[in-house]
Amino acid sequence: MRQLTGLHHVTAISATIRQNYAFYSRVLGMRLVKRTVNQDDTSAYHLFYADGAGTPGSDLTFFDWPLPPEHRGTCSIIRTGLRVNGSEALAWWAEHLRTTGVWVGDIVQRDNRLTLDLEDPEGQRLMLVDDGGIGEFVPWQRSPVPVEYQIRGLGPVLLSVPRLELTDAMLRLVLGMQLHHTYVHPDFPEQPVHVYTIGQGGPAAEVHVVAQPNLPIAQAGAGGVHHVAFRVSTFVEHQDWARWLRELRIPNSGIVDRYYFRSIYVREPNGILFELATDEPGFAVDEPTDTLGERLALPPFLESRRAQIEAGLKPLDTD
């Protein structure tokens, strides 16, 4: 059966990768579960932050590209959700984040959930969302954040598009999502936000979309999101998705073996890049689980170039 099960990862762009590493591992307390490179641009790190085991659906990842800041606008992913458990956790985060000097909003009720908006030092727009403690999560015992307050995984992603009907068709008719409900977002009350659910739904399996036809088209850059990936359970089901896209004659990358998962890349009609990524085999395919992310990991086809690749990368742990 061809069924997506939730969000797999969100990949964003950082122009200050050491600062990025310090913020996500030390301030947000996420575990760096894979320290590797962009397989299409080996001069750049590709860092994966996640829960304690690198569970699919908990990954927030970054390309290390020295770009100017993103020019915000439509045709883009404008906020990425991260799940935490309960109002007490959100209160802890509000106090914790205000001491770091990053921008943080107020705890508010939005779409019947408590949320807390924040931005990382490069302006990456995030939101902490109360998930009620439901769903997969493996704590990281070495995190500077107490277990009860740790980030549990990805929450809803919020997309801005100029024409809702085009994205709606992609999400529902091609990817099999359900339009569940709408709500009013206080930042743009003139347009309802449409909530699409994946599989069984819930905060780890939602895409929120708002139509903003009067905005300029976003220009990619540091502090912006590159793409969002959705979960496919197995390689066999992934092949079914590839066949389905071929049958519909929708342009796509075909299956790309990323070693830690397999991917299919496809753009929805408003230009936002989607990825269908497998849960298997996972990040422990080439490293022990207890030492994930502590060394540069390269897929086998890049291993012969290790010395050259390492020479071109900046040490992450140097302040």
In the chain, the number of structural domains is 1
Asked if the model's pLDDT at residue 62 lies above 80, the reply is yes
For residue 318, tell me if it sits in a domain: no
For residue 222, tell me if it sits in a domain: yes
For residue 316, tell me if it sits in a domain: no
Q: What is the pLDDT of residues 95-111, one digit of tens each?
A: 999 999 999 999 999 99
Q: What is the C-alpha separation between 249 and 121, in angstroms, rounded?
A: 41
For residue 277, tell me if it sits in a domain: yes
pLDDT of residue 135: 85
For residue 237, tell me if it sits in a domain: yes
Q: What is the pLDDT of residues 4-35, one digit of tens each?
A: 999 999 999 999 999 999 999 999 999 999 99
For residue 290, tell me if it sits in a domain: yes
CATH of the domain at 306: 3.10.180.10
For residue 42, tell me if it sits in a domain: yes
pLDDT of residue 74: 98
136 confidence band (pLDDT: 50, 70, 90) = confident
Asked if the model's pLDDT at residue 319 lies above 90, the reply is no
Rounded to two decimals, what is the model's pTM?
A: 0.97
Q: In what order do the strands lie in the sheet with 31-38?
A: 31-38, 41-50, 59-64, 7-14, 225-232, 273-281, 261-267, 256-257
**How does the average pLDDT of the chain come out, rounded?**
96
174 confidence band (pLDDT: 50, 70, 90) = very high
Q: What percent of the chain has pLDDT over 90?
A: 96
Q: What is the 3-class SS of the chain, one letter each residue? A: CCCCCCEEEEEEEECCHHHHHHHHHHHCCCEEEEEEEECCEEEEEEEEEECCCCCCCCEEEEEECCCCECECCECEEEEEEEEECCHHHHHHHHHHHHCCCCCEEEEEEECCEEEEEEECCCCCEEEEEECCCCCCCCCCCCCCCCHHHCCCEEEEEEEEECCHHHHHHHHHHHCCCEEEEEEECCCCCCCEEEEEECCCCCCCCEEEEEECCCCCECECCECCEEEEEEEECCHHHHHHHHHHHHHCCCCCCCCEECCCEEEEEEECCCCCEEEEEEEEECHHHCCCHHHCCCCECCCHHHHHHHHHHHHCCCCCCCC
The parent domain of residue 14 ranges over 7-311
pLDDT of residue 67: 97
Q: What is the pLDDT of residues 261-315, one digit of tens each?
A: 999 999 999 999 999 999 999 999 999 999 999 999 999 999 999 999 999 998 8
For residue 1, tell me if it sits in a domain: no
Asked if the model's pLDDT at residue 77 lies above 60, the reply is yes
Q: What percent of the chain has pLDDT over 70?
A: 99
Of 4, 17, 26, nearest to 223 by C-alpha is 17
Strands 192-197 and 256-257: unpaired
